[in-house]
Structures are given as structure tokens and as C-alpha cells.
Amino acid sequence: MAAEGLNNSGTFSSIDGEHASSDFEDPFTEEQEILWDRLIYTTTEGDEESFIKILDENTDQANENIDQIIEVIKAPDEEGRTFLHAVSERGWEDAVTRLLELSADPNQADKEGRSPLYNALETEQHHIVDLLLINGADIEKVRAKTESDMERSTRIAHLLHERLQHRASTSSALESGSPSRSMR
């Protein structure tokens, strides 16, 4: 039975029952495969609450197996995407926080060179951009191999400029005591 795997559009592609990275040193144990499948299912269904619940259940009951759990959350699919890529572009702040607490790498690039920060910028998940930057995401690693250096730099600069303007307007509104009109 085929499991679903993360792909670069935030949806999932079919993977034949296991993580897709051929670079992964050891095959998943049966417990790791079950965890992988459950996390993929909740992400596919758009269920952040269940995603976090599964992480919490597995880390609470199996602290001696935490390394195996971390291997699962760091393992990329066949396109090089991790769970952090998927939840970052969806704007799942609690899930991003939990994955970062479990040592997910905010700078891990997929096969196209996109990091979770790149995905969050692309989908305008400003709160996730902030969270990733605070937790070590490297702005220099925000890129995609398919863009020229100049196009990429211009686009990233524009996105970050928008983010900084939003942050400044929110701070000004809070300092003046008036509510922000922004819905971001």
C-alpha cells in the first residue's frame, strides 16, 4: 500500500510505503514507518492539532527512542522535503515550533534548493518567517535552483522588505495604542 509523501506544492505524492530518501543511512523500523504514515496523513488532511498530538504522544511515551523519532521528522521525501517544509508553508505555528524543538533543521533544502524559510516566504506565512528566523534559519540559504541569482535576490529582498514593513506598522500601532488594520 502506498503512503503519501510531501511534494513541493504543499500536497503529497505517492511513496511506496517508506521514506523516499536514498541518502537515509538505515531503513525505518516498523514503528518509524507507522509514525511517518500517521504524520503524512494528518498533514495531507490539514489537521495540525492531530499532527502535534502524534508528535507529543510519541515523544512522551518513548523518550528512550527520541533519536528514532527525530530521524522520522528529519527524513526527506523523494523531493527532499521534510515535515518542516510542509508545515511552514501551511502556517502551522505550533507544529513548526514542535518540530524545531525536536531538532528539525530550518535550513534543510529540498532538491530544488528551497528551505522551509523559502516556503514560508512564498506562501506569505509571516509569523512562520519570524519563527524560523528566530530559530536559526539562514537568510542566505533561501533560494531555489531554478531561479537566477539576481531574480532570487530581488524577490527575497522584496519579500523581506514587505515583512519588515508589516512588522514596523504592527509595532507602531501597538506603541500608539491603536489597533493595527492589518489582518496579517
Q: Which CATH number applies to 3-113?
A: 1.25.40
5: pLDDT strictly greater than 80: no
Residue ranges per structural domain of the chain = 3-113
The answer to whether the pTM exceeds 0.85 is no
User: Amino acid identity, residue 180?
Assistant: S
CB 5 within 8 A of CB 72: no
Which pLDDT value is given to residue 122? 86
For 9-18, 85-94, 96-105, 163-172, which range has the lowest pLDDT when averaged over its residues? Answer: 9-18
Which pLDDT value is given to residue 41? 95
Please report, rounded to a whole number, the percentage of residues in the chain having pLDDT higher than 70: 65
- pLDDT tens-digit readout, 116-146: 998 998 898 989 999 998 999 988 777 656 5
